[in-house]
Amino acid sequence: MTNLTSLENKRLIFVGGKGGVGKSSTSSAIALHLSERITQSGQHGKILLFSTDPAHSISDSFSIKIGEIPTRITDTLDAIEVDVNQLMYEFKGEHKNAIQELLTKSANLDEKEAERAIELAIPGIDEFMSLVKISTLIDSNTYKTICVDTAPTGHTLKLLSTPNIVNNWLIFFSGLHNRYKGIMRTFIGTDPKNIDGFIKTLSDNVYRSYKLTTDKEQTEFLIVTIPDLMAIEETKRLIINLYSSGIKVNNIVVNNIQPNNDCVFCQARRNHQNRYINAINIMYPDINKIYMPLFSTDVNGLNHLRAFENILFS
């Protein structure tokens, strides 16, 4: 077993895995550790813990109410529980006129139909808004590293695939717009600059988000799992999907391992878990594994998180 010190050189860390395996505890402990390293090394900067999980848990992890704007945890650590509905509302508000023009002039919808279309959810757009928010924060250089507590596996895969989904949507409407913008300018008297600007903004965001998630130098995807059948199977599917998207996994945290002791039930439980621990070692010989014991208490509040952190980075 080696440690996770390589994470200190990353700009963006995604923490993913099945629901209920300890992603929030792990991402909170990683963010806390990285923030403390800044202080210990006498460097400048801050770390951001960013939750994309609709059922946010990092407030529970720190026992602090965390909102959709950066909430201070320590001098070098902030946290956000993003509200994707608010991000979507702001996006639609900023680009409503351009979207309405695109739908009425290029897609030939009447104004009422365009209004209804704007209110509809675009598949994948919620997750895309989260990626855009993260990439904007990265570009601002406000934070040295952003650690993302992701939703369970299905949502996470959707999050990482949204640049392609939105790009396909963008290609369709861009082609439609290019076909009709000459007509719009000549016969309708409409200047398509508003739509051109919207399409360029969206296109730039797609490019930035894709580049960010696939950047092996700056971005790390760490998986959290537990030694049981369903978690191992889901981990396998997640790794396959990540690899097919060009995202390499360097670290797996195997959480909730039953400590060895004289309790008969505990021994039986550990023997059962050993089957899956061995399976992980065989399936992923080139991936670093970090083994975390089952804690006797909830991992919440700074004291418990630091105990978790100390083992995670020991």
Task: For 271-309, write each residue's pLDDT tens digit.
Answer: 999 999 999 999 999 999 999 999 999 999 999 999 999
Q: Band the pLDDT of 129: cuts 50, 70, 90.
A: confident
Among 76-90, 189-203, 247-261, the least confident range: 189-203
pLDDT score for 11: 93
* pLDDT reported for residue 122: 60
Q: Give the pLDDT of residue 158.
A: 66
Q: Tens of pLDDT along 9-68?
A: 899 999 999 989 999 999 999 999 999 999 888 888 999 999 987 777 899 999 999 988
pLDDT in tens, 207-251: 777 777 788 888 999 999 999 999 999 999 999 988 888 888 999
Query: Stretch 121-128: mean pLDDT, rounded?
Result: 63
Q: How far separated are the first and last CA of the chain, in Å rounded?
A: 10
Residue 252: half-sphere exposure toward Cβ, Cα within 13 Å: 25
Cβ of 215: how many Cβ atoms within 10 Å? Answer: 16
Two tokens at 97?
């006129």
184 pLDDT band, cuts 50/70/90, is very low
* pLDDT surpassing 50 at residue 252: yes
Look at residue 67 in the predicted model and tell me its pLDDT. Answer: 86
Residue 180 has pLDDT above 60, yes or no: no
Angle between helices 125-140 and 193-213 (to 10 degrees): 80
Q: State residue 163's pLDDT score.
A: 65
- Whether the per-residue pLDDT at 4 is higher than 60: the answer is yes
Give all strands (DSSP E) within the chain, no chain letters.
12-16, 47-51, 71-74, 77-81, 145-149, 219-225, 249-257, 288-293
> Which pLDDT score, from 0 to 100, does residue 206 have?
72
User: Could you confirm whether 53 is annotated as catalytic?
Assistant: yes
| Residue-range domain boundaries for the chain | 9-84+125-162+211-312
Decide if pLDDT at 189 tops 50.
no
List all residues 6 or more positions away from 141 whose beta carbon is below 8 Å from its beta carbon.
none
* Spatial distance between the Cα atoms of 38 and 20, rounded to a whole number of angstroms: 30
Distance CA 177, CA 199 (A): 9
What is the overall mean pLDDT for the chain? 82
**pTM to 2 decimal places:** 0.83
Instruction: Report how far residue 70's alpha carbon sits from residue 167's, in angstroms, rounded to the nearest whole number.
Output: 29
CATH code for residues 9-84+125-162+211-312? 3.40.50.300
pLDDT of residue 77: 97
pLDDT in tens, 149-160: 987 766 666 666
Apex 117 CA angle, 115 and 119, nearest 5: 75
Residue carrying the six token digits 């409409």: 190
